[in-house]
Chains A and B, each alone.
Chain A
Amino acid sequence: MTTSPADRHGIAVAVRGVEKHFTTRGSSLHALSGIDLDVPEGRFVTLFGPSGCGKSTLLRILAGLEASDAGEVELYGQPPAAASARKEIAWIPQTPALLPWRTVRENARLSADVNRTADRLGGSQRVPLDPDELLAALGLEAFADARPDQLSGGMRQRASIARGFAQGAPLMLMDEPFSALDELSREAAQLTLVELWERYRKTVVFVTHSAAEAVLLSDQVVVMTPRPGRIHAVVDIDLPRPRSSRLEETDEFAALVTHVKHTLRSGWQAAE
């Protein structure tokens, strides 16, 4: 029960008792309360919940982009900063955030160009992938030499995912990467991500407020409720892989989406 997270084998992300408050102009906001979470290696886990429940905040704490007030976070038994120093965290933000002066290929290669000391340090679980291979897998091979402003929104987001995968980090953190896309691009992007993930099997913590997206992509859905942000329940998604668009038409899929939504609603009402 009280074992240190480092003792747990096969756990990529271990979160214990994380608390987070934001203070703005005197008023304090309890953004995260008593967060405990284990993400097993090679699993696709989604944080699901309404706006303001602290999904992004939790993800940023995992990435080391934000400090928690209390509790501990270990990535492979080490604090986030250590994983980050070895480039073992791939961060895929909400907007593609491509660098407009770089071509699509150069953008996909970004992780190789910065923090060169990480490449000299041994002992990393990172296995960089060929950017061109990823661009091809994402249907962007014809645009490898194009600049981001020549791409559509959906293509830019795919380029951003290529950049994330090319880094070869064992842990990938994605904060609503598809939220800005139109419905059709979004569905296409989800299926591409499923395919890519099933090929490389990285540990992923994904954030969304779409129940269908959470069910389609994940092995586990972490249902969060707001005020203060808590983990209400964890729903296992035992749908077979590989997954395809046909899965979305099955009754099992629909039942799980309903179940996830229902779980959220019950937790939310209890919180009010």
Chain B
Amino acid sequence: MSALTTTTPRRADRTSTGRRLGELAAPLVFFVLLALAWQWTAYHNRSLIPPIQAMVTDLSSRPDYYLAQLWETLQSALIGLVIGVSIAFALAVGIVHVRALRTAVMPVALLINVTPIVAISPALIVAFGFTRTPHIIVVAIVVFFPMLINATVGLSSVDPQAMDVFRTLSATKGDVLLRLRLPSSLPFVFAGLRLSASTAMLGAIISEFTGTSKGMGASIMLATSYLNLAQMWSMIFLSALTSLALLGLVAVAERMVIRW
């Protein structure tokens, strides 16, 4: 009880269940209020949003359908994420070693970043047809920029005094990269990965609005044409949860890799 009312944080309390409940109480209350507001709106304006039980019913009546769409989108998101992030990281490694590469790559990267993704998506469908490829490319493009910037900054953010130690040892470029730049860059790389992971699902879903009949994006479009509010909003919530799970995975990986 005292843990719930006390205002001065005490170290011993931090891990106790009382304290945990205290920290959970505020968001929980807010969540319940939000749900109540949602239900009230749904009952007063049936064309705006579906009541919660309508979504639950739809989800539980055909879980395979939802899982299939989720899996379809998740595959595009993950493959695109890995490809985009890998290319960005490799380019960042090149950029910190070759000055000319920086001046060559950065303007193009910036241009790609400011080009609206909804404009690129249909063009890619035309180019690659009704395959997974255009969707992967869209995801790779949206995750590319945050990783490029963060990795470049991270690989350059080396303690100059540690660099002096490496230089007097005549450390090779490989030594410096592997034993100094790479570890120094990890906090930045994970910050970039968090940004990239949260936009990967976004990219996949937006690209699925055209050129495919599968995936969460296509399912949302389909639900729109049938005015199937339950399906539309179930998909929206499902995609949000998936993005959240991806973020959680990145956070877990970060805690496992960066232990200093």
Contacts and interface: CB of A to CB of B under 8 A. Distances in A.
Interface of A: 60, 63-65, 81, 84-87, 89-91, 93-95, 97-101, 110-111, 113-115, 117-118, 147-149, 163, 167, 173
A93 B260 contact: no
Contact of B172 (A94, A95, A101, A114): A114
B183 interface: yes
Contacts of B159: 95, 97
A114 B175 contact: yes
A95 B161 contact: yes
B162 interface: yes
A94 B167 CA distance: 15
Contacts of A147: 260
B37 to A, nearest CB: 46
Q: Chain B: interface secondary structure?
A: helix
The 9 closest A-B pairs by CB, nearest first: A91-B168, A97-B161, A93-B161, A114-B171, A114-B175, A97-B162, A100-B260, A101-B183, A85-B170
Interface of B: 159, 161-162, 164-172, 175, 179-180, 183, 258-260
B260 A101 contact: yes
A111 B183 contact: no
Contacts of A98: 162
Contacts of B179: 99, 110, 113-114
Nearest to B175: A114
Contacts of A173: 168
A117 B161 CA distance: 23
A230 to B, nearest CB: 25
A86 B183 CA distance: 25
Most chain B CB atoms below 10 A, which of A89, A93, A98: A93
